[in-house]
Amino acid sequence: MRFLIDFFPIALFVGAYKLYDIYTATAVLMAATLLQSSIIYAVDRKLQTLQKVTLALVIVFGVLTLALHDERFIKWKPTVLYSSMAIVLGAALWGWKKNFLQMLLGTQLSLPAAVWARLTVIWIGYFLFMAAINAYVATYYSTEDWVNFKLWGYAFPVIFIVGQGLYIARFINDDADKETEVKNHE
């Protein structure tokens, strides 16, 4: 269900672009992202930081796109989002010696500190990759190609999440096995 909630603004954006134009699609994306955030808030009674940042950037870049009638703003929004996330995670990890990823997900996952550090570096790399590939497509391809990339490029996060799950699964099982061994020896 959560996947559908995450995916529907992009799907509506692409549909509106195919039926109308980039400006209509931008307005639809803004409305759909606001609706998406409202649904998530209604279910979870809170929004995660990434959801708040995404909503803010969609609104700001969407307003700029519509007010200035310049599609470059909406096309560069993902690059700004991904770059910002990479910078924040990197600055926190290496500058402030804080692991924001662990702070965000640590209540849901119990992993060794070294694994959290590696996972954060992997996320930084992922965000930089996504920022670079969006910048490349936004710069060198048509708006039609960029919109198609937004739809089919949704495979990147899915592949990344599956890969990340496979990576951390061995550490989760190790923790469960260690707890079982400790209980068996008591």
User: Domain containing 62: what range?
Assistant: 1-69
- Based on the fold, state whether residues 96 and 158 are members of the same structural domain: yes
pTM of the model: 0.83
CA dihedral 59, 64, 158, 145 (to 10 degrees): 150
- Do 182 and 100 reside in the same domain of the chain? yes
Check whether residue 144 and residue 113 sit in a common domain. Answer: yes
Is 27 in contact with 66 (CB distance < 8 Å)? Answer: yes
Per-run averaged pLDDT (10 residues), the chain, 186 residues: 81 96 98 96 90 94 97 96 94 88 79 90 96 97 95 87 89 56 46
Judgement on whether residues 119 and 34 belong to the same structural domain of the protein: no
Domain count, the chain: 2
Domain boundary among 41, 69, 97: 69
C-alpha to C-alpha distance for 48 and 37, rounded to whole angstroms: 10
Residues 85 and 60 in one domain: no
Please identify, among 69, 86, 111, the residue that sits at the C-terminal boundary of a domain. Answer: 69
State how far the Cα of 150 lies from the Cα of 104, in Å rounded to an integer.
Answer: 26
Of 69, 93, 125, which residue is a domain's last? 69
What pLDDT shows up at residue 16? Answer: 97
Residues 61 and 128 in one domain: no
| Shared-domain flag, residues 76 and 38 | no
Instruction: Quote the pLDDT of residue 152.
Output: 87
